[in-house]
Amino acid sequence: MKVFTNVKDLGDLNAALKEAFEIKKNRFGYKQLGTNKTVMLVFFNSSLRTRLSSQKAAMNLGMNTIVLDVNQGAWRLETERGVVMDGDKSEHLLEAIPVMGCYCDVIGVRSFARFENKQDDYTEKILNQFIRYSNRPVFSMEGATTHPLQAFADLITIEEYKTKARPKVVLTWAPHPRALPQAVPNSFADFMNEADVEFVITHPEGYELAPQFVRGARIEYHQDKAFEGADFIYAKNWSPFRDDIYGKVVNRDMSWTVDSRKMALTNDAFFMHCLPVRRNMIVTDDVIESPKSIVIPEAANREISCQTILKRMLESLS
Ligand code: CP
């Protein structure tokens, strides 16, 4: 595996899940693969889970890890070609990326949507430069449009907790004070559309996700109706994809917060969220603290999703 940015990069999804469960049972069994190999984790944005789970996954595989927080201690990076660099940016990404590639075998990149230019975001301008110029396998640790390590961990978690062959999985929008990227819901839809689940997306009008991620999923604008009979509720805020309101907060309707009344409409559903979560905006205290909340095992599976990707990338080196 040379690139991991979306579900298609995994190939056969059932085979990927099988591999993930084998790793989970024997997470130190592949230590020889990473001996004397180095992964570089490049963060343009903050992280708790991705940073820690990626380092842990690398350690399980016997790898060394270098973490670079681009905005803390590195030269400020110019990302636009053709710019006269007479401002506060001392280094261009076009030199920085191949230099980073000299010091490692695999690179992970976190670079969120900037909401300055929709086309730049949706062409993954930063992440794709790493793929093009680093000469190393590259995995997304959340790009501008996708968060595949999260969605793979979400699918692993659904597989572990499902009690029927084809569960109903509902992705619901919920309110948030700030404009958040669409990466998590995009990837969740990307994976659920390939998984053996009944997939429903519910959100207020204007919050439609990009068609390439929604594909054939059922859209239900009435949240209560979407929740009926659900086996998994996956809550997330995102800002609009639509051109005229792209990346803006246009709705803070607190009636979309996931609470116990709504959970009672479901088939005793499990509650999921990628974290970090704003309590009593996205979800009430009682729901996230309930026995049906699986946000912690979901986060724990981030180690397994990342280890599966790193293992495949290491295998591609030899
Ligand atoms: N879910 C997730 O990616 O968490 P972090 O932003 O803390 O890495």
150-298: what CATH class? alpha beta
pTM for the structure as a whole: 0.98
In ligand 1, the atom with minimum distance to the C-alpha of 46 is: 6
Read off φ and ψ for residue 110, nearest 5 degrees: -115, 115
pLDDT digits (tens, 9 = 90+) for 299-314: 999 999 999 999 999 9
- Report whether residue 94 contacts ligand 1, using a CB cutoff of 6 Å: no
Cα 204 → chain centroid: 22
* Range list for CATH 3.40.50.1370 in the chain: 3-146+302-317, 150-298
pLDDT digits (tens, 9 = 90+) for 258-299: 999 999 999 999 999 999 999 999 999 999 999 999 999 999
pLDDT digits (tens, 9 = 90+) for 129-150: 999 999 999 999 999 999 999 9
In ligand 1, the atom with minimum distance to the C-alpha of 275 is: 1
Whether the bond into 240 is cis, omega within 30 of 0: no
Mean pLDDT of the chain: 97
- Report whether residue 47 contacts ligand 1, using a CB cutoff of 6 Å: yes
Q: Is residue 84 classed as helix, strand or coil in its secondary structure?
A: coil
pLDDT digits (tens, 9 = 90+) for 216-232: 999 999 999 999 999 99
Nearest CA to ligand 1 atom 1: 274
Task: Write down the pLDDT at residue 73.
Answer: 85
Task: Write down the pLDDT at residue 249.
Answer: 95
**pLDDT > 70? residue 318:** no
Question: Domain 3-146+302-317 in CATH: superfamily?
Answer: Aspartate/ornithine carbamoyltransferase (3.40.50.1370)
- Report whether residue 56 contacts ligand 1, using a CB cutoff of 6 Å: no
